[in-house]
Every structure is written in C-alpha cells, then in structure tokens.
Amino acid sequence: MTAVDEPAPGRRERKKARTRQALADAALRLFLERGYDQVGVKDVAEAADVSVTTLFKHFSGKEALVFDQDAEQRAALIAAVRERRPGTTVLDALQAHLRGLLVCAHETPGFRDFRELVEKTPALAEYAHRMWLRHETALAEALAVELGTPADAPSVRALAHYVLAARQLAGGCADPGPALDEIFARLRKGWADLAG
C-alpha cells in the first residue's frame, strides 16, 4: 500500500495527533521560557488544556515531551536504508537523509534555542543520548539485513554509531551540510591516510 492508497486518519486519530502536538509545543515553549527544571508536567498539561493523565497517555515522561518525534525519526532512518533507490549505496542514502534533516533543522526558527536547551540540561542531554543509542541499535539491525551480516557484528555496530555521530557533530556546525559531507567522505575513505 502506498502513501496515496492509505486512508486518511479518522477524527479520533486527528484529535490524538493535535493533543500530542499541543503538549509538545507547550512543553518546548515553557522549557525555553522558564528553564526545563522550573517546569513540571502539571504546568505543561495546564498550558495545553489537558489533564496530567492525558499527558502521560501521549508521553512516557517529561523528557519525552522535548523529543516528540523520536519514533518517527527512527522509522525514517530505517526507511532511508531499506527503501533506498536501486543503485544507491547505504552510505549515500543515509547521507542524503541526514543532510536533509540537518539543513531543514538549521533553517527552522528556534532550532538553536532548542539545541542549547538540550545541551545545557543534563536530563535532556542524557535522554537524547539514550534515544540515539536506541536508534543506533535499530540502524545496526537494518544495516545488517542489507549487508548480509549479523546485527551484532562490530563493523555494523560501528557504522551505525558513526552515522549517528555524524549527524550530531555536523549539527553543531554553522553550516551542517558541508560538515556532514566531509564526515561521510571520511567514512567512505577510512583513516589509513591519517595513520602516518
């Protein structure tokens, strides 16, 4: 079934999506205004005009409010590997996917504030790290299938790790696109020329 064939979400799904987005938007706004540690889940629920119980139906905890697209990001990362065009290498597909994400993020108003919030808040930085580790495991599994190797092969796990690290490193640069390209060029070439 293609995206065109998929039925439109029903009223209930649309309402749930709106509530989830309202909670994520309220949380980010409050965290940026007051600071993460000064805002409780009750504050977020009130700002979104829902109960705390409703908040926890949509999010596992306070940190998850900031990373509201975690599952979608993981799915898109795996899709970049599995659904790449014929003749496109895994690295080319991942580079194109991550480049699109980085350029889009850097052009989004408030991105720098969001990144600063995460970097300066230990609970958020730790959550982001755990989230990336989950993505790393999922990516390693997808790579293993595509490359015909065991998912626990060190080379596959290393590649997944470096790909995700590339996004984080390039994301901290003023011009992330060329920075990502440089990192992926090194992934393709290796480090032999730097050993001497």
Using 50, 70 and 90 to split pLDDT, how confident is the model at 190? confident
Q: In which residue are the tokens 């999010």 written?
A: 59
Asked if residue 151 has pLDDT above 80, the reply is yes
Percent of the chain with pLDDT over 70: 94
Smallest Cα–Cα separation from 82: which of 130, 143, 39?
Answer: 143
Q: What is the helix, strand, coil percentage profile of the chain, to 5? A: 75, 0, 25
Who contacts 166 (Cβ-Cβ below 8 Å, separation ≥6)? 98, 180, 183, 184, 187
Asked if residue 144 has pLDDT above 50, the reply is yes
Q: What is the pLDDT of residue 162?
A: 93
Amino acid at 153: A
Amino acid at 145: V
Q: What is the pLDDT of residue 195?
A: 61
Neighbours of 51 (CB within 10 A): 12
Q: Across all residues in the chain, what is the average pLDDT?
A: 88
Cα of 50 vs its chain's centroid, Å: 26
- Asked whether the beta carbons of 73 and 135 are under 8 A apart, the reply is yes
- Asked whether the beta carbons of 66 and 45 are under 8 A apart, the reply is no
Tens digits of residue pLDDT in 94-140 = 999 999 988 887 777 887 888 889 889 999 988 888 887 788 899 99
Q: What is the pLDDT of residue 6?
A: 56
Half-sphere exposure (Cβ direction) of 24: Cα atoms closer than 13 Å = 16
Burial letters for 4-23: b for 16+ Cβ neighbours within 10 Å, e otherwise? eeeeeeeeeeeeeeebbebb
Using 50, 70 and 90 to split pLDDT, how confident is the model at 91? very high
pTM value is 0.76
What is the rounded average pLDDT of the residues 154-183? 90
What is the rounded average pLDDT of the residues 135-146? 92
